[in-house]
Structure 1
Amino acid sequence: MDQIPFLMDQIPFLMDQIPFLMDQIPFLMDQIPFFCKNLY
Structure 2
Amino acid sequence: AAAEAKAAAEKAAAEEKAAAEKAAAEAKAAAEKAAAEAEEE
TM-score of the aligned structures, taking structure 2 as reference length: 0.32
Q: Give TM-score, length-normalised by structure 1.
A: 0.32
* Greater radius of gyration (CA): 2
